[in-house]
Amino acid sequence: MKMCDRDPSVAAGLRACRFWEGSERQARRPAATGVHKRTRGIGAASLLALVFAALVSGCTKTPPASAAARDPIEPKQIRHAADDSVMMVIPATEFLLGTADAHPDLPAGPLVPGKVKPTEVKLARAWADWALEDERPQHAVRLKAFAIDRYEVTNAQYRKFLADVVKNGDARFAHPGQPKGKDHTPRYWKEFNPLLRDPEFTRLAQFTPMTFTGDHTPVVGVDWFDAYAYARWAGKRLPTEAEWELAARGTDGRRWPWGNDWQWGLCNIVGEKLGADVRSQGREKDGYIYPAPVGSFPNGRSPFGCDDMAGNAAEWVGDWYAADSYQAGTADNPPGPQTGGERVVRGGSSQNLPSHVRCAIRARREPDFRTFVLGFRCAKDI
């Protein structure tokens, strides 16, 4: 699918959006709503947003106090033996869910002459509007105490789950809506380096056998049913969307896990220059083109001590997605919509831009969608 135009000035970056979109699934999506129809525009505008964000980073309005000063949370961790994981304890609290800013990533400011075309600025601003619609209204939410994985679930952890369900079946853990005959093997454990068969990605790929199977990198290529079953197997559950956001940003409403100001090198996202040659030469500021070992960015840790809440693997959460689910404003332990066609995905990935790894941004995918940027972490009641 040619979802991006051939403008050579943006083509390389647009490939990142295609990674995320998953062309084979895109064509099978249900009848588009007004929100869905705009999906194709994300990629083009995402590149432009990055370019623009980089250009205006020097004029972003900085919040009055440092995030750390306003959010003195003392992270507390526990161990969960069933899947040998570390979990962070999130005490019962109230916080503001969603976004109040009109253009948090594209503040008004002087453009650099000759660097950004007027049409690109327009696209970037339109994209920002789209991205924030479903994050409003920002509203107070109260959550009971819970624990959430410090890290994304790794391949090593997932291997133990897979060995068990291959041997003993998954009947104890499967979601009732799971397709019959479901195979929980991650897509890229079986289908190594599929992108190399696509000439458009040849220079980008550079996968090794460890890219998607390394013990310490997040398991990706898993769908929502895989994530659900793993969580049940481990004696956990998927976090709700609200829980995930609290764990990512704490209680002070910060944009990214470390604070309100964008900084390169605090998480694994797409490269700052977005050129195929730049990517293939490994000159990304964060050091990774694809998934990084979990916990590789300690300075980007969340106030509650969770790692990789911005970027690396994007993460399934438990909720169905609805663009207007914040309108209801459920105040106590919001469970999300009762039904839907897509599940919420949080945190953005190694192929996303700064705006797309904000704590409040809401992505979504069909529950049987698998892509090499999408994994998960688990939560549990305490």
* Site residues for Ca ion per CB under 5 A: 308, 312-313, 347
Between 10 and 313, CB nearer to Ca ion? 313
* Of residues 174 and 356, the one with the C-beta less far from Ca ion: 356
3 state DSSP class of 345: strand
Q: b or e along 259-277 (b: 16 or more beta carbons within 10 Å of the residue's beta carbon)?
A: bbebeeebbbbbbbbbbbe
Query: Contact 310/300 with Cβ under 8 angstroms?
Result: yes
Give the DSSP H or E segment for 139.
strand 139-143
Residue 154 or residue 178: which is nearer to Ca ion going by CB? 154
Which of residues 292 and 313 has its CB atom nearest to Ca ion in the complex? 313
Bridge-partner residues for 94, per DSSP? 142
We find the least distance from the C-beta atom of residue 347 to Ca ion, in angstroms, to be 4
Which residue's CB is nearer to Ca ion, number 4 or number 357? 357
Of 191, 184, 193, the closest CA to residue 227 belongs to 184
Residue 286 or 308: the one with the smaller Cβ distance to Ca ion is 308
> Is the previous residue joined to 137 through a cis bond, with omega within 30 degrees of 0?
yes
CA distance 252 to 242: 14
Q: Least distance to Ca ion from the beta carbon of 375, Å?
A: 7
Please, what is the minimum distance in Å from the beta carbon of residue 229 to Ca ion?
Answer: 20
Sheet strands side by side (includes 362-365) = 362-365, 343-346, 314-320, 374-376
- Minimum CB distance to Ca ion, residue 307 (Å): 8
For residue 195, the SS3 value is: helix
Minimum CB distance to Ca ion, residue 283 (Å): 22
Q: How far is the CB of 57 from Ca ion (least distance, A)?
A: 22
With both helix axes pointing from N to C terminus, report the angle between 40-56 and 11-21 in degrees, rounded to the nearest 10.
Answer: 130
Distance CA 146, CA 92 (A): 7
Nearest approach in angstroms of CB 120 to Ca ion is 28
Q: Name the DSSP letter for residue 194.
A: G
Residue closest to Ca ion (Cβ): 347
Closer residue to Ca ion (CB): 221 or 347: 347
